[in-house]
Structures are given as structure tokens and as C-alpha cells.
A and B are shown apart, each in its own frame.
Chain A
Amino acid sequence: MFGRHHYPITIDHDKIQIELKSEEKAIRYSRTCNDDNLVKDLFIEKAEFFIEPVEPMLLPEKITSNLLIEFENTILIEPKSSITIYLTFPIEIAAYTKHKKEIRRIDVFSLSRKKYTLYGDPEDGVLCKYWKSKVYNSIPKIEPFQEGIMALHIDNPNTEWCEIGQAVFNAFGMKIYYTDELVSLVAKMKVRDGFDAETSFQNKPIKPLMMKSQEMFLSAKLAVGTGKFVMEHGLCNFLNK
């Protein structure tokens, strides 16, 4: 389903149906995802369409650019060590068309659970999209139209043990790569002391020969941030345990 498509197209994938067909002078885009339907008439000459996984920040409302992934189990990392873990993350699927370099998003939909949370206190916390993930030691098998796999390199350069139960990322910097079987992100977390850390994304796929998705947040706001996030409200959410 992911990738470049030429008109006319019909995609029928379990809970997602997409159709592009001629409707008089327009091209009719119709999509069904679960119970959600969308129909749009597109007046374009050259019909070139892309369907790609994008940053999971646009649905149901674009109210934050941060993603918080809570680990099902907290992890302990010994002093002066680095590890790589694999987490799942939610994805949204965007359908868009291109005219030269100008990208126009037609639609965004998602099969992932949509939920929000607050990282920190109500006074100075940060609103985040919420996702709960198991912690894996190798790439697990997943449903690629529902969730992706994130390889997270955690570096603890300190002389103390470090306990981590959550990771927060800034969507302005997500580099999503995909095939039809796998959607991936590569991220790193550098623990600054026992209580805070800095997270960022790396511009590389988890496996070779993967395609890179359009960066919706980067294309919307070129000048915003460096894509890093400083987790200054802690690495574990003890309140929810």
C-alpha cells in the first residue's frame, strides 16, 4: 500500500479502502478507514499519488508536536554503558499528491490508538501524544499499517545506574522509513544525569533498502527547532504506577 501510485488505483487492505477514479473532469479520492470515510474531488492534470506513513501527530487534533512512549516495563541501565532497544510507535498514514516540488496533503488517517498525556506537572508540563509499548531486544513482528518500530539507542555515560520508563520525542525531526512490511524510526537517548535525558532522531532506516517518508512537520514549519527534546521532567512516571 505504501509508496507511489498512478491513477487509477484501488487499495483494499483489511480496514483500509482507498479508491481513485475519474469523476467527470475531476479525480475522485475516496477512503474508508474503520468507520471513518472521506471523499474529495481533485482537479489535477497529472495524477501522481503517494501513500506514506507520517508523524503520528495530526490526529485527532494537531495540538502537540511531542510523542511520549511509555514502556510496559521500566529498564535499568548500568553506569557507563549503551544499549539498543526496540519499541513500537503509532503511525498515521498520509495520502498526498505532488506538483513539481509542491506537496499537497489530501488526507491523513490512522488505525493506531489516539491518546494524549501530560509529561510533567499541570503548571509547566508538556502535552504529548501517548503510546504504550513493550520493550523488545530485537525487531518484533508488527502490523505495519498500524504501528512502526523504533530502534532506540540509549547511552548512559554517567557513573550511576539509570532507570527509564518512558521516552519523549519531538516530531520536528522524525525520519520515518518504510517498506510494505515495516515502518521504522531510529532514535537516540543520551542520559544527562540520573533524572533527565536528551532525545533525538537519526536520519537512517532500521534496515537497508527502505524508502523515506515525507516529513510533514518539517515541510509545514522549516524553521522550528532542531528536533531534539530534553526530558527534564524525569525518565519514569512514578505517579501512574
Chain B
Amino acid sequence: MQFFEQIVYADVTIAHICYALGLFILGILLTKFGNMYLRRMLKEHFDRDQSAVIVRLFKYVIITILFLTVLPLLGVDLSGLIVAGGIIGVAVGFASQSILSNLISGIFLMIERPIKIGDAVNIDSVDGIVDSINIMSTTLRGFDGLYVRIPNSKVFTSDISNYDTNRVRRFQYIIGIRYQDDANKAIKVLKQVICDESLALVNPKPRVFVDELADSSVNIKVWVWAPASEWITVKRRLLWKLKIELEKNGIEIPFPQRVVWMNNVEENS
């Protein structure tokens, strides 16, 4: 026992060194097992590159804690380091606020999964296809071909519309016809055109109804359901077909009108 109480330097004994060494080895082993467990746990939620970043981050945090625990045992006074570290920490904290925010948002996005790669989405008023979801940012391929990188903190706090989550989606038209036109006939014509369009779904049923008696027209609302992957094609194709078919049946889409009554003062007097 006396052997372990021998002082090596300052107040540090051989026992202190052995204890520190044991703690260090135990810490390293725990880090290794922790890494393995964490990697397995993240496998379902993240791809390989992303989980590697998280595992590495975990490793560095544990090693830092380990050093901070072991060094005082070896007589190293960390009070100065802690003060300096504290000041540096505050400075780095301020500087890396947005980086950390993006990182944490990225992790939550990957767990929550409101979007997937390949989904057509609208994030923060940007429309596009999700190209990649990284730990710091999400990239979209805009419908106009533009590459858009959005920081994850913005993605996380923005309203997200995912056009592909459901298999089908509904779109609508508001079609105005003249007051002298027969609305029932117009509805019948519109229904027939929708029925002839193969990608306009049978169920959920399309709906066509008079929605508003507006200033210049009788407004007919048309609701059509289509496969989520095809809705935009159907919407574009169907609109022109509806217009053509209405015209064929003598139903016209009116221009804005205003009836002006002239009060002839001279004549009245």
C-alpha cells in the first residue's frame, strides 16, 4: 500500500496516476460501446454520413469530459482553464449560435421527417423537389431548375407543404359564365369533360357547383381529385378542355361588366 502512496510529483501519488489511468481506459471503452450503440440507434433515422457526424460529435464531447475529469487527478489545475474556457465558450457560443440551431433543427427534421428526398414541397414560399436533407441544411431543386439551399433552422420553423405525402390531391377552378347562360347545362358539360379525363379520379368524386353570383358572372366552382404525382399535368390539361367544351355548347366566359345609368339633367328639367 505504501507503494501507491509514494509521491511522484507535487501532491500526485502513484495511486492518483493509476486511478486516472483506470478512469481514462474505462472512459475510452465506454465511448467505444456508446458509439456502437448510438450508431445502431441512428441507423433507422439517418443515413450513414449523417450518423457518422453525430457519432463523432458524441465521441468528442465524451473525450472532453474525460480529460476534464482526469486532469485534476494528475495535479493539473483547471481553474484557469475553466475561466478562459468560459470566456471562449461564451464567445464561441455567440458565434456558433446559428450553426448549433441548424444542427439541432437538422437532427429533429431527420427524426420527425416531414419531408423526404424526392418529395415535391413548398418550404418558406420556395417550391421544389427535395434534393438532400443534410445535418445543417436542406437543398431543393426548384421547379424552375434553380438550386436552393435552406438552413435547417429555417426549414424547421417554416410552414411546410408536402405535395406528395398523400397519394391524391384536390385542385380547383372557378369558372365564370354569363348570367343568361344555363348554369345546369354548364355543370353537365364540365362534369362530362372531367369524366372523360382519365387522370381525374372517380373517387373521391369531383364536385361541380354554383358557388357565387358575382358582379359580372355566375361563378361555378370545380373540385377535381388527381394522383399527387400527376395533378399539375391534369390541372393544366383540363382547364383548356373545359373552356373549349363550354364554348362548343354556347356557354361563354364573360368579361367584367358594369351597367351605367345616365341621368340626363336637361331632359328632366
**A60-B203 in contact given A122-B166, A122-B167, A126-B167 (Cβ < 8 Å):** no
Docked Cα-Cα span, A118 to B201, in Å, equals 7
What residues of chain A lie closer than 8 Å to B201, measured between beta carbons? 116-118
Residues A61 and B199 in contact in the complex (CB < 8 Å), given A239-B205, A240-B205: yes
Residue B230 is within 8 A (CB to CB) of chain A in the complex: yes
In the complex, B34 has a CB within 8 A of chain A: no
Is B167's CB under 8 angstroms from A127's CB? Answer: yes
Interface residues of A in 225-241 (CB under 8 A from B): 237, 239-240
User: In whole angstroms, how far apart are the Cα atoms of A237 and B205 in the complex?
Assistant: 11
Q: Beyond A116-B198, A126-B167, A127-B167, is A63–B229 a contact (Cβ under 8 Å)?
A: yes
Segment 96-128 of A: residues with Cβ below 8 Å from B: 113-119, 122-123, 125-127
A127–B168 touching, CB < 8 Å: yes
Could you tell me the distance in whole angstroms from the C-beta of A21 to the nearest C-beta in chain B? 32
Complex interface bits, B187-231 against A, C-beta within 8 A gives 1, otherwise 0: 000000000001101111100000000000000000001010110
Instruction: Tell me the residues in window 94-143 of chain B with beta carbons closer than 8 Å to chain A beta carbons.
Output: none
A130 interfacial contact with B, CB 8 Å: yes
Task: Give Cα A221 to B196, complex, Å.
Answer: 31
Contact indicator B205/A122 (Cβ below 8 Å): no
CA distance A122 to B199 in the complex (A): 15
Residues of A contacting B166 with CB < 8 Å?
Answer: 122-123
The listed residue (A115, A118, A237) touching B225 by CB distance below 8 A is A118
CB distance from B164 to the nearest CB of A (A): 13
List the 5 shortest-distance A-B pairs measured between CB atoms, nearest first.
A117-B202, A114-B198, A117-B203, A130-B202, A122-B166
Q: Known A-B contacts: A123-B166, A127-B227. Give 9 more (CB < 8 A).
A: A61-B230, A115-B202, A116-B227, A118-B204, A122-B166, A122-B225, A130-B202, A237-B203, A240-B203
B contact set with A: CB distance below 8 Å? 166-169, 198-199, 201-205, 225, 227, 229-230
| 25 A-B pairs with C-beta separation under 8 A | A61-B199, A61-B230, A63-B229, A70-B202, A114-B198, A116-B199, A116-B201, A116-B202, A116-B227, A117-B202, A117-B203, A118-B167, A118-B204, A119-B203, A122-B166, A122-B225, A123-B166, A125-B168, A127-B167, A127-B168, A127-B227, A237-B203, A239-B204, A239-B205, A240-B205
